[in-house]
């Protein structure tokens, strides 16, 4: 039964992937279908033109909501500016990684340029894009802000411009390094990003200093992308809550404060009944010896998940530390005679992972421990009532009421107390559920 649900999900996923790749092929053949540009997009596209009053500015920053049309107009404007202003020069273009830049920016950029009569040759092994039209040829090198090799490579190059897509996801050292390479007269910097914490280095050192740095600043919202329908905008709005709504939908640089899961409500999320029907079981574990050990047993019906039971062992409270073999026995008791698909474990708990492997009774995997992305996914799932908790899981319910952001820190960090059951919940949602529901989520 479970297998047939999985099979159905897999078939639908395959169908969607097939349609997506057919659409990409169609787009490739027919060229990029532009929708009318919004006023903000037009500003990004024209600020450098000879009759623009701000043509002498040294760069542009566009920040704001997701899907608001920043990348599309900025990447195009950047290359058009380079081709109109220079010949035989080197330019830099960067994403968080080279891979993400190729996926999110370059695929569309190549098509937009081709539809405007530019010849674009991609030298993949050198991450070099050669763009030509008439007698003008320029060279665009792709870098990944987080790729170590890019940090080395950018050191020796002289650039006439630098475009950073998703700059807030890059290390400041890379951005300083790259902007420092722009020594050609007339060179300009181009940045876009979604907002983060107001104490983020990009907000403090660039957005807040745009006047003194002689850089234009533009703020985008989803209404600045005329290609989005109301229905799609509504779908994006419903995906984010709390600090993520403020940042990704309102486009504000704001502090993560108060309860991390303020959307958790006992009325909505705590259930008296266990789930029934065809279910897949998964266990998620946050490991601790001095700190508490927390494990949740999750039931999943293909859409909804419920934490049905848990183990929460606090050696400090009990006054006795136990070893990995003991923890393994606790897991076995938690699982009983259910068939679990896998046990997802805190990736740093290598010794415990080895013990689970040794007995060869369950399949085990290390959790993806990307805290902020994981928290974002849990907030969405709570908001959409996709996860619930059985009333017996008292430690989990208690932690929802205690898990808070650390407002003292400049970065988005949570106070590392009362976070064990929250961590194993995050492992389940981010490592298992997100993957399973990717096509619908």
Ligand X SMILES: Nc1ncnc2c1ncn2[C@@H]1O[C@H](COP(=O)(O)OP(=O)(O)OP(=O)(O)O)[C@@H](O)[C@H]1O
Contact footprint for Mg ion (CB under 5 A)? 71
Backbone angles phi, psi at 91, to 5 degrees: -130, 155
Residue 256 beta carbon to ligand X: minimum distance, rounded to whole angstroms: 19
Please identify, using beta-carbon distances, which residue of 225 and 305 lies nearer to ligand X.
Answer: 225
Q: Using CB under 6 A, which of the segments 10-18, 63-71, 152-160, 329-337 binds ligand X?
A: 63-71
Of residues 1 and 39, the one with the C-beta less far from ligand X: 39
Residue 73: CB minimum distance to ligand X, A = 7
- Checking DSSP bridges between strand 161-165 and strand 188-193, what pairing results, if any? parallel
Q: Of the two residues 59 and 69, which places its CB atom closer to ligand X in the complex?
A: 69
CB of 69 to ligand X, least distance (A): 4
Question: Which one among 225, 383, 388, 431 touches ligand X, defined by CB under 6 A?
Answer: 225
Decide: is 431 part of the binding site for ligand X (CB under 6 A): no
Judged by CB under 6 A, the chain residues 318 through 357 that form the site for ligand X are none
Query: Shortest Cβ distance from residue 238 to ligand X (Å)?
Result: 16
Of the candidates 228, 203, 190, 252, the residue with the CA atom closest to the CA atom of residue 65:
252
Kindly state the smallest distance separating residue 185's Cβ from ligand X, in Å.
30
Residue from 3, 31, 34, 126 binding ligand X (CB under 6 A): 34
Angle ∠(160,58,151) on CA atoms, nearest 5: 50
141 contact, one of Mg ion, ligand X, none, CB 5-8 Å limit per kind: none
- Kindly state the smallest distance separating residue 63's Cβ from ligand X, in Å: 9
**Residue 37 interacting partner from Mg ion, ligand X, none (CB closer than 5 to 8 Å by kind):** ligand X
Q: At what angle do helices 420-427 and 371-383 cross, to 10 degrees?
A: 80
**281/286 Cα distance (integer angstroms):** 17
Residue closer to Mg ion (CB basis): 71 or 380: 71
- Which segments within 293-417 are labelled E, that is strand? 293-300, 305-313, 340-345, 364-366, 387-390
Query: Length of the chain, please?
Result: 441
> Binds 143, which of Mg ion, ligand X, none (CB < 5 to 8 A, cut-off by type)?
none
Can you list the alpha helix ranges (DSSP code H) found in 47-199?
Answer: 70-85, 98-101, 107-115, 148-153, 172-180
- Residue 344's region, left for phi above 0, alpha for psi from -120 to 50, else beta, is beta
107 binds, among ligand X, Mg ion, none (CB under 5 to 8 A by kind): none
Taking the complex as a whole, the smallest distance from the CB of residue 194 to ligand X amounts, in Å, to 5
Nearest Cα residue to 143 out of 158, 162, 168, 156: 162
The angle subtended at Cα 134 by Cα 128 and Cα 137, nearest 5°, is 25
Mark 240-269 with x for binding to ligand X (rule: CB under 6 A) and - for no binding: ------------------------------
Look at residue 66 and give the partner it binds from Mg ion, ligand X, none, a contact being a CB closer than 5 to 8 Å depending on partner kind. ligand X
Write out the binding residues for ligand X, residues 64-123 only, by CB under 6 A.
66-72, 108
For the bound state, the minimum distance from the C-beta of residue 24 to Mg ion, rounded and expressed in Å, comes to 18
Cβ 133 to Mg ion, closest distance in Å?
A: 25
Q: Is 254 helix (H, G, I), strand (E, B) or coil?
A: coil
Q: How far is the CB of 412 from ligand X (least distance, A)?
A: 17
Sorted by sequence, the CB contacts under 8 Å of residue 340 that are 6+ apart come out as 281, 282, 283, 297, 362
Among residues 97, 194, 379, 380, the one that binds ligand X under rule CB under 6 A: 194
Tell me the C-alpha distance between 351 and 364, whole Å.
Answer: 12
Residue 2 or 221: the one with the smaller Cβ distance to ligand X is 221
Token pair of 146, please? 């987080």
Size of the site for ligand X (CB under 6 A): 15
DSSP string, 208-220: TTTTTTTEEEEEE
Q: How many CB atoms lie within 10 A of CB 398?
A: 13
Q: By CB under 6 A, which span of 7-15, 31-39, 235-243, 345-353 interacts with ligand X?
A: 31-39
How many other β-carbons are positioned within 10 Å of the β-carbon of residue 221? 16
72 binds, among Mg ion, ligand X, none (CB under 5 to 8 A by kind): ligand X
- Which residues contact residue 208 at a Cβ distance below 8 angstroms, ignoring those fewer than 6 apart? none
Q: Which residues bind ligand X (CB under 6 A)?
A: 34-35, 37, 66-72, 108, 194, 220, 225, 227
């Amino acid at each position: 039964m479970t297998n047939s649900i999985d099979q159905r999900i897999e078939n639908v996923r395959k169908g969607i992937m097939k349609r997506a790749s057919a659409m990409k092929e169609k787009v490739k053949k027919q060229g990029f279908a532009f929708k009318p540009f919004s006023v903000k997009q037009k500003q990004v596209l024209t600020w450098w033109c000879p009759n623009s009053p701000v043509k002498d500015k040294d760069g542009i920053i566009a920040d704001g909501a997701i899907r608001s049309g920043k990348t599309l107009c900025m990447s195009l404007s950047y290359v058009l500016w380079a081709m109109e202003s220079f010949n035989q020069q080197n330019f830099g273009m960067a994403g968080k990684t080279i891979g993400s830049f190729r996926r999110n920016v370059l695929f569309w950029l190549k098509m937009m340029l081709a539809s405007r009569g530019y010849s674009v040759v991609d030298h993949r092994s050198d991450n070099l894009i050669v763009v030509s039209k008439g007698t003008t040829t320029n060279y665009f090198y792709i870098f990944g802000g987080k790729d170590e090799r890019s940090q080395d490579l950018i050191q020796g190059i002289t650039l006439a411009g630098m475009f950073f897509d998703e700059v807030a996801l890059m290390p400041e050292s890379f951005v300083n390094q790259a902007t420092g390479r722009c020594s050609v007269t007339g060179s300009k910097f181009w940045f876009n990003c979604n907002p983060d914490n107001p104490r983020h280095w990009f907000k403090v050192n660039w957005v807040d200093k745009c006047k003194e740095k002689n850089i234009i600043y533009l703020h985008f919202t989803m209404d600045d992308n005329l290609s989005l329908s109301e229905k799609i905008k509504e779908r994006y709005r419903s995906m984010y809550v709390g600090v993520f709504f403020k940042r990704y939908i309102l486009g504000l640089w704001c502090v993560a404060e108060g309860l991390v899961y303020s959307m958790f409500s006992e009325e909505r999320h705590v259930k008296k009944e266990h789930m029934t029907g065809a279910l897949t079981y998964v266990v998620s574990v946050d490991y601790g010896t001095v700190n508490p050990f927390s494990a949740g047993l999750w039931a999943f019906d293909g859409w909804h998940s419920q934490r049905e039971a848990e183990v929460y062992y606090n050696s400090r409270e009990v006054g006795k530390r136990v070893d990995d073999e003991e923890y393994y026995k606790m897991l076995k008791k938690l699982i009983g005679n259910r068939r679990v698909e896998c046990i997802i474990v805190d990736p740093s708990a290598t010794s415990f992972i080895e013990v689970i492997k040794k007995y060869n009774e369950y399949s085990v995997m290390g959790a993806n421990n990307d805290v902020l992305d994981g928290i974002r996914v849990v907030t969405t799932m709570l908001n959409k009532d996709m996860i619930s908790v059985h009333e017996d899981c008292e430690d989990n319910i208690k932690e929802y009421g205690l898990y808070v952001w650390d407002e003292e820190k400049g970065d988005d960090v949570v106070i590392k107390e009362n976070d064990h059951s929250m961590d194993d919940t995050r492992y389940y949602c981010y490592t298992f559920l997100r993957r399973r529901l990717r096509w619908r989520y």
